[in-house]
Amino acid sequence: MRRHELTDESWAVVEPLLPRSRMGRPVRDRRQVMNGILWKLSTGAAWRDLPERYGPWKTVYERFRRWSADGTWDRILAHVQQHSDAVGQVDWSLVCVDSTTVRAHQHAAGARKGGPWAGEALGRSRGGLTTKIHLACDGQDRPLAFTLTGGNTNDCAQFEPVMDGIRVARPGPGRPRTRPDRVAADKGYSSRKIRAYLRKRGIACTIPERIDQINGRLRRGESLCRLDRTIYRRRNVIERCFGRLTQHRALATRYDKRATHYQAMVTLACLQLWLP
């Protein structure tokens, strides 16, 4: 077994959640196909360069494309998160939010304009075409939710969508768990709208104010927001999470033209951080 392939313990979790083929003819080993997809995620190579041990590259690609379109990866990730929360492995005491910018390869450009493919999460900036991953992770540097935008999108604009994406189902009846005890973020998320959003939901926040906001409060004679620096030091879990995710070369540089395919790659990388 190679380093990027599923272990027996991980395959025992994933295998029952993969859709079965309805075709009458025999299908290729699903574990072989899954390992081929993870090889692509780890190396960032072209699908046509898939090693022969994983079968025909087109079969692996078509399976990846089909499972990306029907939400298979999202369902598996949600199931693994639910199981981890049921056994107390999710740290709800602190959720950290941040973003990272990923350079898009020249092959990622050129997707068909308009129609259902409009908006491929690509933005042009001084460095060229980029994609931004907005992520929320728990206190143990494991991802809970993320969104994709163009690299020129402001972080504040995606704070609420990322927080609204945190939905960990409970093992029995009841609403999904959506609210952590506290949220930590850097100065880029310091705004009245974000603080009011967290206050309305009953979530404490550890977000330092920008210097212009501090000066404005001093001029108006208002008190400054308190910042617990001990808690704020724990915000580095989001940096560790990004570091582990971008070890996959298909994430560190975007090669996919379609945002749905790149989103599936990010979901797979997040899934690997949750699997045993």
Q: What is the pLDDT of residue 206?
A: 94
Q: What is the pLDDT of residue 214?
A: 78
Q: What is the pLDDT of residue 117?
A: 40
Q: What is the pLDDT of residue 116?
A: 41
In a domain, 56, yes or no: no
In a domain, 22, yes or no: no
In a domain, 205, yes or no: yes
Q: What is the pLDDT of residue 115?
A: 42
In a domain, 223, yes or no: yes
In a domain, 240, yes or no: yes
Q: Are 227 and 208 in contact (CB under 8 A)?
A: yes
Split into its structural domains, the chain has a count of 1
Collapsed DSSP state (helix, strand, coil) of residue 131: strand
Buried b (16+ CB within 10 A) or exposed e, 61-95: bebbeebbeeebbeebbbbbbbebbeeeebbbebb
Collapsed DSSP state (helix, strand, coil) of residue 200: helix
Closest CA to 240 of 154, 167, 104, 143: 143
Quote the domain boundaries for residue 151.
91-257
Global pTM exceeds 0.85 = yes
In a domain, 111, yes or no: yes
In a domain, 25, yes or no: no
Instruction: List CB contacts of 136: < 8 A, sequence separation 6 or more.
Output: 95, 96, 97, 143, 144, 145, 146, 162, 163, 165, 166
pLDDT < 50: residue spans in the chain = 24-26, 114-118
